[in-house]
Structure formats: C-alpha cells, structure tokens
A and B are shown apart, each in its own frame.
Chain A
Amino acid sequence: MDSFLKETAQTLLQSKGDLKGVKVILPNRRAGLFFIKYLSHLVDRPLWMPEVITIEDLFYQLAEKRPADKLTLIYELYRVFQALTDRQESFDRFFFWGEMILKDFNDLDQFMVNPEKLFTNLKEQKVLESDWSFLSPEQVKLIREFWASFEGRDRAHQEKFLRFWDMLYPLYTGFNASLESLGLAYGGKIYRDVATDLEALTPMEEQLVFVGFNAFTTTEEKLIKYLVTHFGAKIFWDLDTYYLDRPEQEAGLFFRQYRKDPILGPTFPEHIPNHLQQHKAKINTYNVPLKINQANLVAGLLEQVKGDEDWEETVVILPEEQLLFPLLNVLPDKINRVNVTMGYPVRQTPVYTFLEAVLELQRYSKMEDGELQFYHKPVKDLLSNVFLTEIAPEFTQQVYDDLLRTNAIYFPAKDLRKGGEVFSLVFQLYTAETIMEQLLELIRTLAAPLEEKSMERTYLYQCFKQMNRLKEVFDKEIKEEVSVGFFTKLFRQVFAESRLPFQGEPLEGIQLMGVLETRNLDFKRVIICSMNEGSFPPSKSMDSLVPFNLRQAFGMPVQEQNDAIYAYTFYRLLHRAEEVHLIYSTAGSQGQVGEKSRYIHQLQIEMEHSGIQKEDTLVHVPVNLTKANPILIQKSPSILRVLQRYTDSPGDGQTATSFSPSALNMYLDCRLKFFLTYIAAVEVPDEVQEAVDPAIFGNLVHQSLENLYTGFIARKGRNWVEASDIEGLMDYISPAVEKAIRTQYFLDEDAGLKLTGQLTIARDVLQKYLAGVLEQDRYTTPFEIISLEGNKKYSTQLPVATRSGVRGVSLSGIIDRVDRVGATIRLIDYKSGNDKKDFKGISSLFDREDKSRNKAVMQTLFYGLLYEARHPDNKSPLKPALYSLRDIFQEPFSPYLQEVLGPGKKQEVHDFADYRDDFVGQLTQLLEEIVNPGQNFDQTDDLEKCRLCPFSEICSR
C-alpha cells in the first residue's frame, strides 16, 4: 500500500503538473524529506521542486520575524516582573517560574485569549459584565466555579495566589511593550500578530498546500482558514474512519471538529480511508522485565526479518530516547544502514561530563589564607578524567597519589595548576562575571591539540557554540549577577536538550525515531518500545500557572488536547502498517512499576480483528547464577620459596623477613587473607578519608605517645620518670599529637595543619587519652623507660619442624613501650579500641574457632618472647600490659592481663615466664602449620571476618 505522503505527492502532481510556485506545508521537516523523495520518484522529466516548509516557517515568513531566544526572553520577563513587585526575587530563583510564565503567555497568544479578561480577578465580582458575552454559558460556568472557590474564609494561600494573579496582566502588557521597544518577540506573539491582521497579508501567488495536520492552535486555524478562503489553499488530511467516526476515540477529536467547520469541512475528502479495520495489521505485544532488554527483543525481532526486505520499510520508535544506544549496540549484522533522527545527546559525551565535573569542582572551593583550595572528591574525579590524564599522565598520577598520601580533604589549587595550561584553566576560581569566558577558554584549549574533524573536537565545538551563545546573551542582555550555582543549573539545562546529529542518508536503512518525528510517515513494519504509561503517552506535563478551569474556559489547551494529539500519533502509525510490535517493560524508574500503555488496552479491548494479539507475550531472561567457586591456594614450590624467607635460610637472592603478631593473628583469622597480604602482596588502594578510621586512629595513638616520651627523654637527658615530671609532660601533649598527625599524613613541619571536622574531634579525644595515660603513669612513678616503639624492633627465632628439617623461623615485633616499675619489666601496648584484657588460657589465643579470641593478649604475650630473646639474662618478671582508650577513663584502672579460670575467677598475669612454655608450644604449632606444605591457604568460614576484609570482593563475600 502506498504511504500517505506518496499518495499525496501523486495527487498533487496529477492536479498541478508543474510544481513551481507550490508551497507545501508539513508538520515537520522530516516529513518534507520523504515527500520530496516520493515526488522525485513520480516525475518523468525535470521539474521545479515545490517549496517545502513547516507551519512555523510559514508564520515567521509572513511576519518576517523570528522569536528571540528563551534566555533573553526570560530575562526581559524578569526585569518587568521586578519592576512590578516589591518582593524582590533573584534571577536564579525566578528563572524556572519565568519559564512557566513564558509558556503560559505563549499559549494564550497562540490561542488568542484576551489576557485582560483571563487575568481578571473576579473574586469579589459575582456577575460577569456584559462585555463577557463572547463566552458561552459553559465557559462562564467554569469561570464562576473557579472564582466561587474563593468564597469562605480568607486564607494565606489564596491571598498569595491572588497577589501573583493580579500581577500577571500588567506583566503581560509590560513584557510585550518592552519586547516591542527592543524589536524582539516570542513565538506566540508572532503567531498572534499574524493571525490578528490577516487582511494585511499580501496576496500570495503560490499555491499553498497543507499536508498531514491534526491539531491547530487558534492562530494556525485562523490563518489556514483565511488562506483557504482567500488564496485557495489546499489541505490533505491523514486520517482514518476508525477514530474519526467513533466519538470516544480521542485521536479523532480535532478532525471531528474540523469536519464540522464550514471552511475546513469541505477540505475533507469524500472518501475517508478505513485502513485500521480493513487492513488487519498483525499486532503483537510483549512484556519485558527490564527496560534495557527491550533492545535485545527488538534485535531478536529484526533478526527474524527475511533477508531480502527493504529496511526502509521498518521503523523502530523509541519514546524514551535513552534506549537508542542500547538498541544501536545490538542491531543485527545484516542491517547495514541505520538512520537515526534523534541525535546524540551531548550530555552523555565525555567532554560534557568533564565540563560538568569542572563546574562541580567550583561548588566546593574555598579560600583559606588567601589561597584557593578544592575539595578532594571533585579533584579526584578530575584527576582520573581522560581529558587530564591524557595531557599529563605522570603529573596527574603523582598529584593523585599525593592527595591520597596526605589525605588532603582540601587541596591547594596552586599545586594542581602546575600540570600545564589546561590544569591552570580547570583549577582556577570561576566567578560569576568571568565564568563563561573561562569555560570558553578551557574549551578552546582542550580542542587545540585535537585532530580536526575528530569526534571529540566535534563535541567540543558543539559545547563551544552553546556556551558562546549563553555568553552573548549574558554580555548583551543580562546585567544581573548570577551565581556560579545558577550558571551550572543553566548549563545543565541547555545541554540536557542539546543533540548532535548523526550522519546518514536520511531516507535509507532502518529508521530509528522518536515519537514526534514519525508524523506523516508510514512503514510496513512498526516496532514501538517503551509502550508504558508515562512514556507513550508521556506523563502529564501541563505545568501552568493558569488553573485548569480557566484554561478550559478560555480555550487554552488542557490535558484532553494533549491526549488527543498523542493518541493520533499512535493510531496514525498503524494506518498502513502490516506488522506491528509493541513492547513495554514492567520495570519502572525509582522503584516504580512500569504500567502498560493505555493504547495497548485500547487495541486489545476495542479493536476487533484477527491480527491483534489479545494476551501479551512474556519475555524473560533466565536467571542462573554460577556458583562462587572457593579460592584454594596450594603451597606450590614458588609459594614455599616465599615462605622460606621467614626462616633462617631465606633462599638465594631473597631477603629475609619475619612474622609479626598481626601477621599471625591474620593467619588465624583467615589463611587466605594472610596469603593475599603477605605472600601475594596484593595492594589495597588508598582512599582519601574524611572519617578517621580505627586503624589510623590507632596509629595516631601510638605515634603521639611515642612523641611524648621520646621528647621527654631528649629534653631531660634521662629515661626515668618521676611524679614531678608528669605535670610538665602535660604541656607537651598537644605538640605530640600534632606531630603525630603530621607524620601520619606526610605533612611538612611548616605546612599549615588543616584538620577536618572529624579529625579535630579525634585530636581532642587523643589529647584526653594522653592526659589519661599520664595520669595513670603518675601513679606508677617512678619508672624507667627502657624502650619506645620507634627505636627498637625486637626479633627472635623459633625452631620449627619443616619439610627440610628443623629451621629457625623469624619472629619480630615493635613494642609500644617497655618500662621498669620496681623490679618488674612492663611490656606495654596502647590500644585505641575496646580490647579486653581477659583470656581463657593460652590455647584460646590460638583457637581460630573462638569468636572472642583475644588478639591483643596474644600480641602482648608475644612481646614477652621477643623481650626475652633480646635480654636472655633478664631475671625480672615480664609483665604485659594493655593501655586501652576506654579503660584509661575507668576507675579503677589496671592494664594487666587476666586469665579467666572459671566463672568469676580471674588471675592476673604477673610474669610472662609463667606462660612461656605453653605459649611457645602453641606458637610453634601455628608456625608449623604455616610452613607445612600440606596445609592450603583457604577462606575462613566465619563471614563476620570478611565484613571488613579488603579482599571481600575477591572472595565474593
């Protein structure tokens, strides 16, 4: 069957013969392209092509005027608005309201509403005066109803509404007057001017032909009727009796009105086609769980199409344009030509996301001591962005590392700018006055090295163009200060709608389109995705400041008209199709459920012919999951070799190493974790952390206390501490803590110390902890400090049976503090956490099944072993001690270990020697297990252990 446009072309050609001086007006340009194509297939000799334009073009031609851009218009509106009210609103805040007002003004002009009447406040007025007689009784009723609702108590909201309402008429007139004086106009106004003064039109010689229209605005209708009566314009309607003759079918709403019209009525053809009923297109519907799988389904459907078909005859309609790329990426190979009408959304290009990241950076900048600083998150985002890494790979990497190392929450701009020109442009302060110039400059600089005609350059140029325009408007029109924040919003808005066209011969290959571009086109095979309420038809978007009843009373379009337009768009697609596939998905967005489109309901319930599938086909993707295989590491020769490093014969070319208590604790927790950390040495990437995590806090604790006492020893030149020293030490707490923080974050001595909120709190807590420790030490005085962590690493070896006989296995550790109190040597560990001092016997310390295994006790006992090894002659009792943050503030405080012997029975550990043999026995066993080739490294069964393990991803835990 011939398409509508082809039929029309034929009729036109037959009736005219010569097409010069013919002006064809179509709803959109795409239809024009197809129209010309059909025409050219019909001629048998060269002929002048008719002029093909849209109705918009026609109005602008007649008015010899074009609308100004939206931004300028809204700003003008804003100026007038400001003059009218005493409540000042910033342009930022006004902007989106302005958009809405402008839309309303456009509507009321397009529909030739009398603004003065519309915006009258009829609250007090009970009767409508006689000059309202242009309204029908129904209209009057609607208006009355609206104003009647103001009766009753006077309320704040109503007053607010009225205050605004009362201003709209002056705003309208003021706005128009001001535009007039500037020589500007907006779309609706141009339409209205043309339609109001039709007599002024110069007689037209061209033959006007309107093709494929459905809904006219009042101004359009006026103009067209005038052209029909005065200049013999012709109209070709693209319609079907199915909806025309059934008054309930909203798709026919406008046609039914026009057919009754004395002027338009006669333009309807005598014979109106009945394709929809006669033609019995095959209509299938599908229900797909995920939106994204619609693309796979379409591809599958296309796959089934026989090879010799013309792809031009197939259209895929995407009411949600976002589905375009998922679809493009699965198109079957046999489709070699694709024509896309929708364009590439600029906001998805890497260039755009880069620029947006640059703006995002500005949101979180601050000046400190005259120096510009940026928040770490956006900086990190930018440093890993390809536009910067590409320019200076080393620099970006180095700064990135710096950022992590110093845990900089704010990072100085000057260090970032060292990367070169682009960096200087990115990491500068953008101010409201200069932001656009700065961005333009950035774009130019980015583009400079790019190959001509490369895709990125094209993207960049598109951005450049848009920005340039914005800038021009701002330079010329807008004197207002806008915030960088507002600019960012505007920037987003402009680019949200910006598209890059695709290359391609528009009339060849499979056609991928948005809904509105299908106007007037016919295809044999029609596939429509997103047949969901909210997508097709799209969700209501009648944002207007004019309440519904008033809109209706004054003939401005309401949802009904909108519905009619969309319904027509849908049904029209079925006119001449032979095969239709309608796809919807049950997944919605934001946790909503996808609802099947009303059109499917309508078809399935109302249209009676054999081609319609009455039950939807359910399409689903099978859910299978491969079982997560466990990780099991057998001790291969190479691993055994690595393990050898822990023994007294580390093996050729290998450096010796030793087991620390934390390594052993880790092994007990999870063998695999030990393997990954110590044998495979998998590196865990750093993160900048605003929070101070327990490990870092722990480091700070150790470091500060070491600083405190090292300083003391250095100052006093002695290493015993007396009660009278404590007071003096208190003064050194603060610097000790500060120094620890510097060390932790690799900050130079002279670099200003900028702490985050969390860290300042941590610092204060630390200071209190140190004071607490000193308080406790006061009771212990006098004592002698034997060693502090930094200056002594203790180590020893234990004989362990290995495959190759008994070997010495190295052990080592750092003891926070060793001191002597009276005859006792104390081995002290500072704990920032909540470690307990109780333990249920030595074997419990090595029992990996024991959920409350006391690691801290195992660690301090381990120190006993180390100390002994270094001081074999020692006769003094060795007393392990834990200074835990929590306990320091508890009364009474005792740092010593307690072995739990039974319920309520505890025994303090006075001397390591009492536990030595037991401990060594257990430890040796453990070490034997570690080096035992038969013992694999496997994953722990205790998922609790995995919760905070950095390898939980690898383990799929």
Chain B
Amino acid sequence: MASPTPFHIYKSSAGSGKTYTLTTAYLKLALENPLAFRQILAVTFTNKATQEMKERIIQELKRIKNKADETQPMDRDLMARWNLKPSELSQRAAMALTAILHDYGSFSVSTIDSFFQQVIRAFAREIDLQAKYDVELDQEGIMERIVDRLLMRVVEEPDLHRWLVAFSMHKIQEGSSWDTKKLIHELGGKIFQEDFKMVQKEVRHFLDGSDNLKKLISHLYQQKQVVVRQAEGMKAEANQIRINHGLEWEDFHGGSKSFVKKLDQLGDPASPIPELTDLQKIKVKNPEEWYTKTSRKKSAIQAAYQEGLGELFSRFEPLLKTWTTLDAMTKNLYVFGLFGYLLEELEALKEEENMLLISEANDFLRSITAENEAPFIYEKVGNRFRHFLLDEFQDTSGFQWESFRPLLLNSLSMGKANLVVGDVKQSIYRWRGGEMRLLMEQVENDTGHFGLEVKNLDTNFRSLPQVVFFNNSLFSRLSRLLAASLTEELGSGMGDLISTAYAEISQKVSLKQDSKGQSGKVRLEFLEPEKPQNFSDAALEALPAMVDELISKGYRQKDIAILVRKNDQAANIADAFMAYEIPGQEKKYEVISDEALFLHKSAVVRCLLAALKLVSNPNDGLSGKNLWVQWARAKNLLLGQEFFLQGTLPEPHSGLERTFFENIHKLKKLPLMDLLEALVELLGFNGELDERAYLSGLKEAVYDFVGKNRADLGSFLEWWEQQGHKRTVKLPDTHDAIRILTIHKSKGLQFKVVLLPFLDWKIFDTAKDPIVWAPYSWDEALPPVIMPLTIRQNLLNSAFAPAYREECLLSHLDTLNMLYVAFTRAEEVIWGLVPHKESKKRNGIGKVDDLLFLALNQRGTEGELDLEAYFDSETLTLDLGNWPSSDPGVKPATDRPEIMAWKYRPWRDSLQVRQVFGDFDETGMIAKRDFGRMVHTLIEKASTRMDFSLELEALYFDGAINKHEMVLLEQQFATLCEVPEFNSWFDDRYEILTEQGILMPGGGSKRPDRLVFKKGAVEVVDFKTGKESQSHKEQVKGYMELIRQIEKGKAVTGFLCYLETGSIIRIS
C-alpha cells in the first residue's frame, strides 16, 4: 500500500521519542506482510545504536505478539493502519517476529558503513579492488607510515629534499622546531577527509603541473615583498611628515605608547602592517584624538595630520588585507606541496597490503551508485531494499547522502515509503563530515518532487516538567544571544542559521512526565576559583561531594552521568573518584567510562608489560626496575630506595626476580598468550586480585592482537606502544557505577541525573587550528588554487573572510548544539558547574560561561521561564524545581562475578601436541627409520597395488614427501612385490581387507594390518619394521584366534612380514 506521501521527514528534538517513532515506522512497514522486513533498511549512526534498535524492534514485536494493547499509541497506530483487531495485530506481529528470527541475516538494521561495505564487496571486481582486502580503521597509523615512507624518499629525490629543508627553515624562522614531521602528519591527515576529497581533483591537478607550485611561491613571495615595500615607503613618508613639522612620535597623544607610533612600526618584514584595535581605528580618523588638550604641539600635529599622516592610516586596512591573505596562503604551503607525494604513498601502501580505508567506503559507494542503476546494484548485492529509514540524519555527510540518494530516489519513484529522522540541533559530528544542511534544506530540495511530509516531534517524553521548561527557556535565550552576537560580529544575516535551527525549540511536556507529580531539578553553580585557570581543579574537587548529595537523595550510582567534552577530562574525573573516600564508607564510587578507564592505569598491567619488555630484552634496566616498582604498587607496598639502588631489592621481590631470570629462556619460547599467562602466574596475579578487570583487559588486548597479527612479542610491544594506551576496561552498561562520557558519545542516551562539570569551553576555538579549503585566484591563466587554510581570526580581514565567517558560524552552532545535547540528556536532574567572573570582566561572548551568564541574567521573552528569578546572586547559583522524590526503581540485575574461576593451570600439563608422523634427517629426506614406518602406513591403507600408488600420491599432496621420496617408496614397494607371497596379498582377485577392525566385547577393538580371503581360508598378515620378535608372533596368533571365532570353519593362516628385510614368517 503506497501512502500518498511516501517520504517523511521527522524533526525530532531531544527526548521526543525518536526511537519510538522509528520503531513504529519500522513496524508499519514490516507488518505489511511477514516477509516485508527483508526490504527495509534501517540505518543507524553507531554499531551500538544498531544493536539497540534491533533489540527494541524484537521487544515490541514480542510484546504485541503476546497482547496488542489498545491503550498503547503504537498499537493503536498499527491497528488503525490496516484496520485490525488487537488479536489480528498480535497475529501479524507473531508472524513477523518469527520471520525475522529465522531469517535474521536479512534483518537489516545497520550502520551506514557496514551497508556501504556490503555493496563495495559486491562490486570489488568492477571497481578494481583485490579479491581479498582488509578494511583498515586506523588512519592515524596509516598516516604515520605514509609520512615515514615520504621521508625515506628524501634521500633519492632532490626536489623533495629541497622542499623539506625549505620547510624546516621556514619553521625555524617562525620559532618552531625544525622537525616538520608532526606538521606533515597533522595536516596530511586531511587526505582522509571529505572536504579534501571534494577538491582533491583540482588539488592534484594543480600539484601535477610541474611549475605551478614554484610559480605560486614566487608569486606569494613577490606580492609580500610589494606589501613590505609599500609599508616601508609609508613609514618613510610618515617620518618625513613628522620631521617636517618638528615632531617626535612621543609628542602625540599617548606619548611613547601612542597609536600614532604605529606609523613608525610599518614595514617589519614579519608583519609589515601593524594592527589597530577597534578603538584605535576610530581614533585615527579623528584628529582631535591625536593630541592632548594641553599639548603645545597641537597645531603642528594638526598640520601633520592634514598633510598626510591621517591619510596614511586609511591605507592600512586594504594593505593589511592583502598581507593577511598572502600570509594565510603561505602558512600551509609547505605541507600542501607534499600532498601529491602523500597521495602517491597512500596508493602504494594500499596496493601492497590489500587494504581499503574505512574513509574510502563513501568514495567508492558514490562511484558505484553514480555508475549504476539501483536495480543492478541490488542484483549484485543480492538484497533489494524498498524502504529506507535513516536515523540521525543531521550527521550524515555529503558523500553519504550522494551515495544514498539514487537508492532512495529509486524507492520513492516506486512510491515506496521512506523516512528520515534527525535534529539539526543535535548535529555535533561536523568534524567527521556531518552536514546538517542536508536535513535543513537539501533533502527536501532533492526529493521534494515526490511529495513529502515534514513533521516536527514537539513533545518531550524524556524529562520532568521543570527540566523541559528550563531547556526551552535556556535554549531560546542562548540561540537569540548567539544569533545576535554573530550578526554583530560577522554581519547581517549571519545569525539566521542559528535562528532557523532553533526556531522550534520549545517542547511540550509529555502527559506521562506531567502526571508523575515531580518537577525535576536544575542547578547551575558559578564557581569562583582563586585563579581562573583553576576552575577545572575546583570542579573536580566539587564533583564527588555532588555525588554524595545525589546518593543521599536516593539516586544510585548508575543513575548519574557526568558529561565532558574531552577524553582527558573524563580520565581526570575517573582519577578524582578513584582517590575519593566516601565519608563514613569503606567502598568507593565506581565509574564506567570508555574514555577513562585506561588499562595502563593499572599497576598489574604496567607490571606485566615491564615483564614482557624484559623478556624481550633482558638488558633493559629500566623495565627491570619498573617491574618491581609496579609489582609493589599492585601489592600496595610503599616505594622507597630499595627498589632503585643496585642490589637492594628486598624479598620477596628478589626471589621472584631470580626465578624470573632463571626461567627467561623458557619464557622466551612460549607463544605470546602462553607467555602472558605464565608471567601472570609467576608474578602471583592469579590469586585474589583487585585489578582483575584490568588484567582481563590486557589479556583481551593480547587475544585480539594474536588474532590479527604476527603473534610475537616484539610486534606486540610495538603495537602496545602505539595503540595500547587507547585500550580501556569495558564494562556492561547495567553495572551500578557512575558513567563518565563525552557529550558526543552521550547522543541518543538519557540518564536520570546529568552532571556537567566543565561548562567553560571556548565557543570558537581557533587554537584547534581548524582547516578549510578555500580557492585563491592568483594567475589569470590558471584556475584558482585550492589551499588548506588555518582559520585564524585575522582572516576576517582578508580575501578569505567568507571562509572564516562560515567556519565561525558553524563553530558557534557546534557549541550551541553540544550544549543542547548535554542539557537535554537528563530525565530528572541537571547540575552544572560554570566558572564565575565578574560581569565587567566579561567582554563579549567568547566562552560558554559568558553565554550562560548572559542568558541567566537577561529578561526572557513571553512564555519563557524567568530564569533570572531563580538565580541567587549571593550564592551564584541558579536553582530551579524540587528534588524528585527518589524512586530507587528496579534493582539493577545482579552481577555474578562469583561464577568465574581464575585458577591458572598451564595447558601443557593436561595436553600435549601430538607427534607428527615423520621427521627429517640432515639431508632433508625422511629419516631411514621413518622411511620404513612410512612404507608401513602406506601398505596398511592400500588394498591393491593400484591403491598403493594412490595413497602414495596422497602423501605427496599432503607435503609429507617430495617427488624423489615418492619414487624411492615406489621402488621399495616394487621390490617387496617381487616375493610372490607378498604379491598375492595385493592381488585384487582376492577379497582383501586392510585395517579391518575387530570389535571386542566390552569396548575394545583390534586391527590386524591385512586380511586376505582365499577360498575357504583367511590369511592374516601383519607388517613390521625393526627386529623380529616373539611378541610379534604372539600378536598374530591372537588375531588368528579372534578370526577363528568370527569366521567359523575357515582355515586361518598368519604371516609376519618385515618390511626392511622383506622376510616373511608363516605362523600356524
């Protein structure tokens, strides 16, 4: 059933039931018929979200299957759609659920990346990939290797060499290190990003033109010279005028600090045009400001002004603009010049190692969807999607959209339903290519002709009333403030984007939250640290006490989330809690964090790594010390000199050390996993241990490493050096502990209590060196060169002002969105810490705290909460609402660590690797002794002469023997066959049984080598190597006895055949 408007766009503010909406939409499609789900692709942003979405769908289906409930809006919706009775809906759900569970692979909820990769795999041959390739995620590591390769080429390539030396000199002159590797690495990393890829063709084209770069440099150099010359000229002119009027620079208003003196600073080669402050810009135009009222030289100054000094200042601005433009061009020029090399090396590396970079998936897919019609793509992939549900659309990148669009349009053109969900206000992944303008306008432009319905989800189901009201008011204020400030700073119209994005900020409180009778609590404290830079310390100190208070209000640790912006902040918080003693308690707070619980914080882990290093290099004295220092730490011992001075290591350390060195040789021979286990045992970490989670984390790291890499110690240590510091302890979400996470990771999650300890960041932080690619025209004959520019404030006054404005604007939006995401995670309580400054010290809106301060101290408009009324200027605290009466809720599922066992027992104690048959002698051939055994095995298996050859061949194919040995074996067999008796055992006229087992009552079995059935008689043959012996005879006699019992009435003869000598003994 095609709906009239197949395409829906849901704008979903925080807490507006997005998952619910998506799930309902999914079910509306999936319940159409039991197999409908196969044609739906739901795309989520992260792997984790994928899991959650799947679980949610299954859960709802399960619920409806048991009982469709008319009071549930979802069920009502679904019933209405097909006009069903509850029981009928249940039935549909049951069928769909069954279908999904039994064709789970077609249950397509996935991230954009994994879907893309599926398509790419199907087109590998068409897009010239190799048949087998690995998807590489570690782009940092790749860049590292590319730069290394680039530097290796320096020796051979004079051009490259010269370029890099010039680069170094340039850096030295700028006052930086001559070592430019880091810079190349940093800026070079842009090759993986979409904004570079967008201009890649032009850039390559420019760099491939052999002289372009040289020409550009000399152009820049010349132009800069021109500016410097002009500035020098102006300076001379200024001084001439001054002297003409008998003036010194100190005579002007301001004396030695006079702004007029800037004229004398013109022409400095590093910055030929001095900058004027806004105030100075006004002053230079007004001659009154040039002298003090009492100045005796008033008239001389006026005259000088008239004669040209005033006019000279008017030349500042255009000249400075030119200069800034040129300077910005120069800044990244050197790395830019290397992009061609970097791309070359990247190509080579990829080819050598068969890899596909994760960042390339988008490019490839774009080419595939551009190159092919949707049906062909589906045919190749083997899965045809008719419906797309795209979540978190505001974070979709331009390339991703371009790739998807053809598929989506294909679906829309068939009138199939599709859905996009997103919220511009929650777009915080711009740095990863997220392009919120897609949601804002482009998607509508691109697909509008199929008809579409935009719906704003405006009810907040997540938060208690006061929290909702607070956020409504706060964000309408914040967006107004920012829009106004942008308009002021960047020009009219520049605030519009923010205004539009936040136009519909006001949310309704949901019935459910309203009916709880709770208000919710918001508290923002402005801290007044002694020094402003100590704000983080103050906040860190305040945090544990805040948690104490929350716990006393009845919250559990797992209800609390602490949101931060950066990973290191998370780590600091974790440390603070680790060090904190809860008043009157033995236990400490526990924290869960993917960003903070680094493995290397554990003494046990450090100790083991030191041990591994020492195994790798027993002469490593540093690790030799470190091993015991960490060991002592793990055992909570005090650390004094005895751990460092020669020969003073106390017991039990020194005893352990002896054992360690005595065993080092054995240790060295162990496979990596075993080595680690052995060290854990040797160092006594298998007993009761506090840091078990960390130890397990280390083992898991080795486990993962061994699975993918060469499993030796050296490689592991190198890997750990590069990657190990990123590994953290992983805990299930259900664990009762405080969560610490970044705002980025918190997107899509919600918590009862949200703590925001560091509300102090810079809104537009140019110190992070944002890079944009901007065109610059410099040669009529050439298309403009597209350069990577580092955004700095001074670009506002350059040819690159538009790029600056754009970046500035988007950074403001980023910050506002970050705040929005952070503040809207809370169900019941928001508690934030903001640095306090006296209001007169706040000039403009530079940081988040300025913004918050202004917002709280400003009158709101109609319908907003009067925030300032809740702000107590004594305590510097905004306090709103009441503490919710705590509801301990469901007890968290019980963790059961006690079912685990930790005792170590080397596997070699219980198990041995079996001897492989055969061994080599010095010449590389099968040793003589084994040769006989080999003949034996062959004969054992082969019933006829023909069989023998087959078996021999099999052995050869197995790699056990080479061609030569094959011939030798064949010959030996032929020699044996010369004996008629022997030959008759391989004669296919008889019934011959080889390896014919005899079942023995009670569970045993016997296996004579060979049975030959000749008329009315059975011959049993056993082949032997080595010396003749009585026991062999007994064995054959035993066989004969058994055979007589089975084959009653037949004559049974026995033979022993010694293979080396060929002697045959008949046994009767």
Contact = CB atoms under 8 A, between A and B. Distances in A.
A316 B52 CA distance: 29
B105 A559 contact: yes
B622 A683 contact: yes
Interface in A493-518: 500-504
A469 B910 contact: no
Nearest to B698: A292
A685 B610 contact: no
A834 B172 CA distance: 9
B912 interface: yes
Nearest to B1041: A46
A390 B154 CA distance: 38
B176 to A, nearest CB: 8
Given A160-B125, A587-B700, A954-B629, A329 B677 contact: yes
B933 interface: no
B98 A248 contact: yes
A550 B372 CA distance: 19
A624 B97 CA distance: 42
A697 B379 CA distance: 61
Contacts of B597: 623
B126 A956 contact: no
Given A46-B1042, A954-B629, A956-B633, A676 B700 contact: no
Nearest to B670: A350
A627 B959 CA distance: 56
A531 to B, nearest CB: 13
Interface in A729-779: 755-758, 760-762, 764-765, 768
A755 B732 contact: no
Contacts, number: 502
B620 to A, nearest CB: 5
Contact of B999 (A46, A249, A344, A619): A46
A82 interface: no
Interface in B939-979: 950, 953-954, 956-963
A10 to B, nearest CB: 13
A626 B382 contact: no
A307 to B, nearest CB: 15
B568 to A, nearest CB: 11
Interface string B909-922: 01111111011101
A107 interface: no
Contacts of B84: none
A5 to B, nearest CB: 15
A649 interface: no
Interface string A393-428: 000010000000000000000000000000000000
* Max count, chain A CB within 10 A of own CB: residue among B102, B125, B137, B915: B102
B900 interface: yes
A331 B697 CA distance: 20
A812 to B, nearest CB: 24
A323 B352 CA distance: 31
Contact of A605 (B97, B103, B373, B616): B97
Nearest to A65: B950
A625 B376 contact: no
Given A625-B578, A626-B690, A153 B373 contact: yes
Most-contacted residue by chain A among B372, B606, B961 (CB, 10 A): B372
A757 B712 contact: no
Contact of B169 (A464, A685, A768): A768
A47 B998 contact: yes
Contact of A953 (B104, B382, B622, B902): B622
A155 B102 contact: no
B1004 A49 contact: no
Max chain B C-beta neighbours (<10 A), residue from A46, A301, A623? A623
Contact of A468 (B578, B601, B699, B962): B962
A485 B348 CA distance: 14
B467 interface: no
Interface string B121-139: 1010111001110000100
Given A290-B730, A885-B172, A299 B371 contact: no
Contacts of B905: 329-333
Contacts of A263: none
Contact of B633 (A150, A348, A624, A628): A628
B957 A287 contact: no
A158 B696 contact: no
A381 B130 contact: no
A49 to B, nearest CB: 3
A525 interface: no
A348 B672 contact: yes
Contacts of B980: none
A765 B164 CA distance: 10
Contacts of A296: 696, 900-902
B897 A621 contact: yes
A145 B999 contact: no
Interface stretch (A113-121, A658-666, A687-695): A687-695
A933 interface: no
A602 interface: yes
B297 interface: no
Nearest to A540: B105
A455 interface: yes
Given A48-B999, A332-B901, A333-B905, A96 B131 contact: yes
A679 B132 CA distance: 56
Contacts of A458: 913, 915-916
B711 A347 contact: yes
B277 to A, nearest CB: 18
A591 B622 CA distance: 33
A394 to B, nearest CB: 12
Contacts of A299: 900-903
Contact of B712 (A353, A390, A627): A353
Interface in B66-105: 97-99, 101-105
Contacts of A380: 714
A711 interface: no
Contacts of A485: 352
Contacts of B168: 761, 764-765
Interface in B978-995: none
A622 interface: yes
Interface stretch (A440-448, A797-805, A823-831, A854-862): A440-448
A791 interface: no
A587 B693 CA distance: 13
A302 B901 CA distance: 9
A606 interface: yes
Contacts of B957: 66, 68-69, 469
A349 interface: yes
Contact of B693 (A300, A588, A623, A764): A623
B875 interface: no
Interface in A878-910: 885-886, 889-891
Most chain A CB inside 10 Å of its own CB: which residue of B103, B671, B912: B671
Interface in B682-724: 690-694, 696-697, 699-700, 703-704, 706-707, 710-715
Interface string A104-131: 0000000000000000000000000000
Nearest to B690: A624
Contact of A503 (B269, B673, B913): B913
A45 interface: yes
B692 A621 contact: yes
Interface in A267-309: 287, 289-293, 296-297, 299-304
Given A40-B999, A157-B126, A540-B105, A953 B916 contact: no
B907 A328 contact: yes
Kindly list the 10 A-B residue pairs having the minimum CB-CB distance in the complex, ordered from nearest: A469-B959, A548-B382, A49-B997, A757-B154, A328-B907, A96-B131, A757-B151, A299-B901, A149-B375, A353-B712
Given A150-B376, A386-B665, A768-B165, 9 more contacts: A66-B950, A330-B903, A458-B913, A464-B920, A618-B734, A623-B731, A758-B179, A834-B177, A890-B173
10 contacts: A64-B950, A299-B903, A331-B907, A385-B714, A548-B381, A589-B704, A591-B47, A620-B895, A638-B648, A680-B645
